Amino acid sequence: MTADEQPTAPILHVDMDAFYAAVAQRDRPELAEVPMWVGGAERGVVLSANYRARAFGVRGGMSVVAARRLCPQGVGVPGDFGSYTEASSEVREILQTFSAKVQMASIDEAYLELPSGPRAVPPAEVGARIRAIIFDELKLTCSVGIGPNRLVAKMAANAAKPDGLREVDADEVIGFLHPLPVEALVGVGESAATKLHRLGVVTIGDLAQLSAVDLRRAFGPHAGLSLRALAWGQSWSAEFHQPGTRGVGCQITGYRDLASVDELHAVLLRVVTKVASRMRAADVLGRRITVGLRYADFTSGSASATLAMPTDVSQELYLAARQVCTRLRGGRLGVRRVGLRVTELSDRSRVAVQPRLDEPDHGWADLDRAGDRLIERFGRGKVQRAVLTRRDGVVGSEIPDRSLDWR
C-alpha cells in the first residue's frame, strides 16, 4: 500500500433468512414444524419458503401450483405486509446502532459501512452482535457477510446462509470467489448462466479468465466487461449517499390505547430498557434523546432533550425520557405508539464518565450489567423490572401477536 492509499472501510451485508416465512413462523410457531411458504392463493406466487419446504425444491418466485406439486403436504399462508414492514423497521433500527451509514437494499437486506480505525470493534464481532440482537429481540435469524466491498459482502452472506457469518478479507477475495459456480455470482441470472455454460464456463474463475472478445460477443461491450469485473471481485461503488444519523431507537405500538399515566410510563420504561440494552451491546453512550408519541387519532408529536453526560444506564434514560414525555403530551392521553431514539452517540472507550461525589459504589449501571449477563444466559423475558411483568394488557411487546395481551 502506498502512502496515498487508504484502507477501505469494511462493508457488512445483513440478509434476513427466509424473511417472510420466518416472520410467519415467529407469529405462528406451529408453522415451523411443517413445510410452509408465504403465498397462499393457488394462482399466486411463492414469496418465501421455510427451509423444510426448500428441501422439497420450493423456492421464492415459483407459482403456488408448482410448489404444491413439489410438496403436496406443504402449508401456504397469505402474506402480511404490515408485519414484514414492522419487522424490517426494527431490523433497520438495530443496524443504525452500529453505523450511521446503513442502506436498506430491500425489505430484508441491508448494507452497512462500518467504522474503521485502531479503536474500531472488529467487523466479525459487530456481525455477531447484530445477529444476536436480531434473534434475541425479534426472534428472527439473519446471515451476515463482511468484505471489502458490497459484492464480496453479499457473496459472503450468501455463503453463510442460513443463520451464519462469513468474513472475506481483501487478500482472500480471489480464493473465495473463483472456486464458486458461476451461477453463484451476483448479477448472473439463469439466462446469463446458460450463455456462459455454452462458452465452457463452470466456475467464477473460468469467467475471470474468459477473453474480452468472447464476453463482448456473448453479452455486448458493457455487460460483458461488467461480468468480468465482478468475477475479479470488483464491485459497484460502495459510497453511501446521504448517510443518516447514527442512533439507537425502538418503538412499541399498542393493541389498545393507553388511557392512564401509569400505563404510558410502563410502556415507556419497556422502550427505554430495550434501547439501553442495545446501546450496551454496541458499547456506545448517548447524550440526546427524542421521545415520539402517536395518538388514537393518528396524530403524532416528538420532543427532545440533551443530557448533561452521555449514558447507557436504563434508569437515567428513563427519568429523562419521562420528563420529555410529560412535556410533549401536555396532559393528553389515548396514546397508541411510544418511541424513543438516542443520538449523539460516542464509543464507550472514548468517553470518560465523571462519577458524582454522592454516587454509591454500586448503582443502576451495575444492575443493568447484571441483568444483561442473566439475559444472555437465560434469555430475554426471564429477567426484567417488576413493573414489566404486569399481565393486565398494558405493557406491550415489540413483536405483534394479536392473540396476546401486551407483555
- Give the CATH number of the domain where residue 291 resides: 3.30.1490.100
Give the three-class secondary structure for 7.
coil
And the C-alpha cell for 157?
452472506
Same-domain check for residues 5 and 153: yes
- The pLDDT of residue 115 is 78
- Residue 361 is assigned to a structural domain of this protein: yes
Q: Do 139 and 279 fall within a single domain?
A: no
Residue 155, in any domain of the structure:
yes
Q: What is the pLDDT along the chain (407 residues), one digit of tens a residue?
A: 333 444 578 999 999 999 999 999 998 999 989 999 998 667 789 999 999 999 999 998 899 999 999 999 999 999 888 889 989 999 998 998 898 889 999 999 999 998 777 778 899 999 999 999 999 889 999 999 999 999 999 999 999 999 999 999 999 999 999 999 999 999 898 889 999 999 999 999 999 999 888 888 888 878 888 898 999 998 765 566 555 678 888 888 877 889 899 999 999 999 999 899 889 988 889 999 999 999 988 899 999 999 989 999 999 999 999 999 999 999 899 999 999 999 988 887 666 555 555 555 557 777 777 777 776 676 666 666 666 655 444 444 433 332 223 32
Torsion sign across C-alpha atoms 180, 181, 184, 186:
positive
Long-range contacts for 214-217 (Cβ within 8 Å, ≥24 apart)? Answer: none
Q: What CATH number corresponds to the domain at position 185?
A: 1.10.150.20
Q: Are residues 157 and 256 in the same domain?
A: no
Number of other residues whose CB lies within 10 A of the CB of residue 366: 12
Same domain? 92 vs 205 = no
Residue 314: name the closest of 261, 252, 372 by CA.
372
Q: What one-letter code names the amino acid at 66?
A: A
Q: Cis link prior to 78 (omega < 30° from 0)?
A: no
Q: Of 93, 109, 137, 316, which residue is the catalytic one?
A: 109
Q: Where are the beta strands (DSSP E) in 1-70?
A: 11-16, 36-38, 48-49
Is 109 assigned a catalytic role? yes
Asked whether residue 198 falls in the same domain as residue 326, the answer is no
Question: Does residue 403 lie within any of the structural domains?
Answer: no
Q: Classify residue 394: in a domain, yes or no.
A: no
Instruction: Write down the pLDDT at residue 127.
Output: 96
- Among 127, 161, 195, identify where a domain stops: 161
* 397 belongs to a structural domain: no
Residue 187 sits in the same domain as residue 157: no
Together in a domain, 320 and 357: yes
Q: What is the tally of structural domains in the chain?
A: 3
Whether residue 314 lies inside any domain: the answer is yes
Q: Domain boundary at 161, 192, 220, which?
A: 161
What domain range is 325 assigned to?
A: 248-389
Long-range interactions of 112-116: CB distance < 8 A, separation 24+: 112/11, 112/12, 112/13, 112/14, 113/9, 113/10, 113/11, 113/12, 113/238, 113/240, 113/243, 114/9, 114/10, 114/11, 114/12, 115/9, 116/7, 116/9, 116/10
Considering the domain architecture, whether residues 73 and 6 belong to the same structural domain is answered as yes
- 91's enclosing H/E stretch is helix 81-95
User: Is residue 243 domain-resident?
Assistant: no
CATH of the domain at 70: 3.30.70.270
With respect to residue 236, please indicate whether it lies within any of the assigned structural domains.
no
CA distance 398 to 277: 14
Co-location of 113 and 220 in the same domain: no
Same domain flag for 148 and 84: yes
Specify whether 220 is located in the same domain as 314: no
Q: Which three cell numbers stand for residue 208?
A: 475471470
Distance CA 152, CA 234 (A): 8
Question: What is the phi/psi pair of residue 119, to 5°?
Answer: -100, 0
What does the DSSP assignment read for 149-163? SHHHHHHHHHHH-SS
**What is the four-CA torsion angle of 110, 116, 120, 121, rounded to 10 degrees?**
40
Does 15 belong to an annotated binding site?
A: yes
| Residues 263 and 334 placed together within one structural domain of the fold | yes
| Contact assessment for residue 252 and residue 271, using Cβ atoms and an 8 Å cutoff | yes
Crossing angle between the packed helical segments 261-282 and 123-138, to the nearest 10 degrees: 150
